[in-house]
Amino acid sequence: MNHQKRHFVLLHIFLLLASLSIYAQKDYKLWLQYDKITKQAFVAEYSNSINGIISLENTETSKIASRELETGLTGMLGNKINVISKIEGDNKIIIGSKSSLNAEIQNTLNADFEKINEEGFIIKSAALKNKKYIIITGKKDIGVLYGVYTFLRLIQTNKSIQNLNIVDAPKTNIRILNHWDNLDRTVERGYAGFSLWNWQKLPDFIDQRYIDYARANASIGINGTVLTNVNANALILTPQYLEKVEALAAVFRPYGIKVYLTARFSAPIEIGGLKTADPKDIAVANWWKEKVKEIYKRIPDFGGFLVKANSEGQPGPQNYGRDHVDGANMLADAVAPFGGVIMWRAFVYSEHDANDRAKQAFAEFQPYDGKFKDNVIVQVKNGAIDFQPREPFHPLFGAMPKTPLMMEFQITQEYLGFSTHLVFLPKLFQEVLESDTYQKGKGSTVAKVIDGSLNPHKLTGIAGVSNIGNDINWTGHPFAQANWYGFGRLAWNPYLDSEVIADEWLRCTFSNDENFLKPVKKMMIESREAVVNYMTPLGLHHIMDTGHHYGPGPWVSNLSRPEWNPTYYHKADKNGIGFDRSKTGTNATAQYAPEAGNIFDNVETCPEKDLLWFHHVSWDYKLKNGQTLWNGLALKYQEGVNQVQEMQNTWNKTEKYIDSERFKEVQMLLEIQYKEAKWWRDACLLYFQQFSGKELPKGVEKTTQSLDYFQSLKFPFAPGN
């Protein structure tokens, strides 16, 4: 063996060795890697400014804050950074909430404390008796913890920490994950293994994952979690399970995270022994009051209930001739004495309603505006159908000014390739949040509805349907961690730019090397449009296969409920394709404020990305780029495939910047994504071609498979179904 070859073999062996030793670490540690900083200039700056931590208080939350700071700094600076409890020395970080600060420090910060709420924080460089300190404080210890994570992020992302003056607070009150986790640990629409909650071993066994879950959430400002599926099981409300919920609540509490549960509306019958669950029945209302009292006795800071009622077969007030207001307010009365909240979902549609499904939630809920109790917040999905790769914003946003509405985003990729496809969702979330409802004139964005700045509300919130499971890397796809991260960051500040989020996440998770960052950030930002292109371009939606929602199924038309069939949505025929929701069709556009609705309503002004959502247009319709609709559609599908190929090219060049483990994982997953992008393109184009009767335009690859082949594919044990 010559020298060069031997060198290669040794290198090869070393890489494999490295991979053996790091597994289950990098993947597990999310964006809290705290790797040693490689750029010496930064190490010098940070080390000069930080030689210790002064922790002024001793609450559980404060201890977590100082420990995290110690862990993070020790890891990143490569020197043990110690914690003391008295102000002395200099170049130290002082942490503690307002009441723990001495008068001198309090006075310097009074104006800043005015600017923040109970969860906000201040990070400030200060000189005390001519000695330099960095002060991290807040009104409460949880603010300090948020400040600590923000400070650590500065270092993780190689920012300067000179002359710090950061005053920040969350713009929404409820920043919450919705776990669609069942009691048998399956997760509805879960693609990262199974539920974290090991009910059998609770309450006595506290899995370290519960702690690390809380840590990860606190690090991005998430302050609530709904443990159970909206398709609820009443057993969670029995003492046997409440004891377990209590144990989880105790773990999460010092991290500032409140526990919420889903309330099955028929629970009074199923576990209460009552004959009815009628919200106007006094025995029912009392049952809930007693149940709530029992819960708060165990969990004094219990958050409240999330309710899916009279939707997709779930029980609800309509079973008793009552309405959503009756149901929500009855539960609201029960939790009100304890400060609890009812999050009532507006995701409703009925098989008995011949109306356009996209119109039904608005039609049903908008008239309730102002009728809910103070502690009810209505939870609205970002679009009027169901978490598609792209939907126009939900018309309810801005249309219920007297009612707090919270956003429901889906972080788990039910319709976006499960955990196999790389899609950076903050880009999708940002598009929704930036959408202008025009409800109070131009600039009435969805973000302003959500954070209460358009119409002030005591309650504000953003929910994300969790993509977390018991996979070692939490989310199935290494890049799906970015969607959890980005959700939390946007829940804190719905005005953040998704590119900034991608930059932060990549630096914290992988590397600060610009040669890595620049192309990979571009890949992330473009990934969402890629998925739209190869799945549902130009406003197509809900054309996935049945049940599991994996892969294309535009041909499906045999399901019992008409609005479950893809053919209901794309309405392809000889004349064209698309769902006419303009005034010549279902007039769904009229549910928007006129300035928004008119744009959608007119095929000329309707953004092409939403074209087939709002209009049925002919195959020969001319797109803005001069292509016919058929050609343009086919080219969009091809573009999506090309984009995934480009993602692969980008990723293949990153090997030298990151660990081989995650490099290979993403490489394998991108290969699957590429295969499946072609599958979407080929299956959809073969199917639609039957109606258009046209050849594929130049530049679009032809498949060797038949439509029959694609229609024959079955996925009997697809996860999350």
Using CB under 8 A, list all residues that contact its own copies. 1, 6, 9-10, 13, 16-17, 19-21, 23-25, 28, 63, 66-67, 70-71, 74-75, 82-86, 183-185, 191, 193-194, 199-201, 204-206, 208-209, 212, 235, 240, 418, 420, 470-472, 661, 665, 668-669, 671-672, 675, 714-719
Q: Are 408 and 380 in contact (CB under 8 A)?
A: yes
Cα separation, 590 vs 355, whole angstroms: 14
- Nearer residue to its own copies within complex by CB, 20 or 41: 20
17: helix, strand or coil: helix
Q: How far is the CB of 28 from its own copies (least distance, A)?
A: 4
Can you spell out the DSSP letters for 511-547? ---HHHHHHHHHHHHHHHHHHHHHHSGGG--S-BPTT
Q: Are 530 and 479 in contact (CB under 8 A)?
A: no
Q: Are 520 and 513 in contact (CB under 8 A)?
A: no
Can you spell out the DSSP letters for 560-582? SSGGGSHHHHH--BTTEE----S
Cα separation, 463 vs 487, whole angstroms: 9
Q: Are 478 and 666 in contact (CB under 8 A)?
A: yes
Q: How far is the CB of 9 from its own copies (least distance, A)?
A: 8
The angle subtended at Cα 239 by Cα 237 and Cα 243, nearest 5°, is 100
Q: How far is the CB of 7 from its own copies (least distance, A)?
A: 12
Catalytic residue among 45, 90, 312, 353: 312
The angle subtended at Cα 383 by Cα 380 and Cα 389, nearest 5°, is 130
Q: Are 426 and 500 in contact (CB under 8 A)?
A: no
Q: How far is the CB of 33 from its own copies (least distance, A)?
A: 11
DSSP E strands in 159-243: the ranges are: 165-168, 174-178, 224-226
- How many angstroms separate the Cα of 555 from the Cα of each of 261, 403, 537, 551, 561? 38, 40, 17, 12, 15
Cα separation, 147 vs 124, whole angstroms: 10
Q: How far is the CB of 312 from its own copies (least distance, A)?
A: 22
Q: How far is the CB of 720 from its own copies (least distance, A)?
A: 9
Q: How far is the CB of 668 from its own copies (least distance, A)?
A: 5
Cα separation, 465 vs 434, whole angstroms: 20
Could you tell me which residues come within 8 angstroms of residue 25 by beta carbon, excluding any fewer than 6 positions away?
none
Is 351 annotated as catalytic?
no
Q: Are 109 and 124 in contact (CB under 8 A)?
A: yes
Q: 313: buried, middle or exposed (CB in 10 Å: 19+, 13-18, 0-12)?
A: exposed
Closest CA to 345 of 253, 197, 463, 211: 463
Catalytic residue among 168, 246, 323, 414: 414
Token pair of 382 as six digits: 């970002």
Pairing of strands 224-226, 174-178: parallel
- Nearer residue to its own copies within complex by CB, 206 or 269: 206
Is 655 annotated as catalytic?
no
- DSSP H stretches of helix in 190-238: 208-219
Residues in the chain, total = 721
Q: How far is the CB of 535 from its own copies (least distance, A)?
A: 18
- Nearer residue to its own copies within complex by CB, 418 or 534: 418
Find tokens 């009229």 and name the residue: 590
- Nearer residue to its own copies within complex by CB, 179 or 359: 179
278: helix, strand or coil: coil
- Nearer residue to its own copies within complex by CB, 206 or 525: 206
**Radius of gyration (C-alpha) of the chain in whole angstroms:** 26
- Nearer residue to its own copies within complex by CB, 120 or 551: 551
Q: How far is the CB of 452 from its own copies (least distance, A)?
A: 36
- Nearer residue to its own copies within complex by CB, 71 or 628: 71
Token pair of 160 as six digits: 């300067």
- Nearer residue to its own copies within complex by CB, 14 or 495: 14
According to DSSP, the residues that pair with 545 across neighbouring strands are none
Q: How far is the CB of 211 from its own copies (least distance, A)?
A: 9
- Nearer residue to its own copies within complex by CB, 24 or 44: 24
- DSSP H stretches of helix in 23-59: 40-49
Closest CA to 139 of 97, 95, 94: 97
- Nearer residue to its own copies within complex by CB, 19 or 645: 19
Q: How far is the CB of 412 from its own copies (least distance, A)?
A: 14
Is 386 annotated as catalytic?
yes
- Nearer residue to its own copies within complex by CB, 436 or 676: 676
Catalytic residue among 386, 391, 431, 436: 386
Q: Is the peptide bond before 719 cis (omega within 30 degrees of 0)?
A: no
- Nearer residue to its own copies within complex by CB, 249 or 396: 249
User: For residue 25, what is the DSSP state?
Assistant: T
The angle subtended at Cα 376 by Cα 374 and Cα 381, nearest 5°, is 140
Q: How far is the CB of 62 from its own copies (least distance, A)?
A: 12
Closest CA to 582 of 607, 565, 599: 599
The angle subtended at Cα 283 by Cα 279 and Cα 287, nearest 5°, is 85
Q: What are phi and psi of 408, to 5 degrees?
A: -115, 105
**Active centre residues (catalytic):** 312, 386, 414
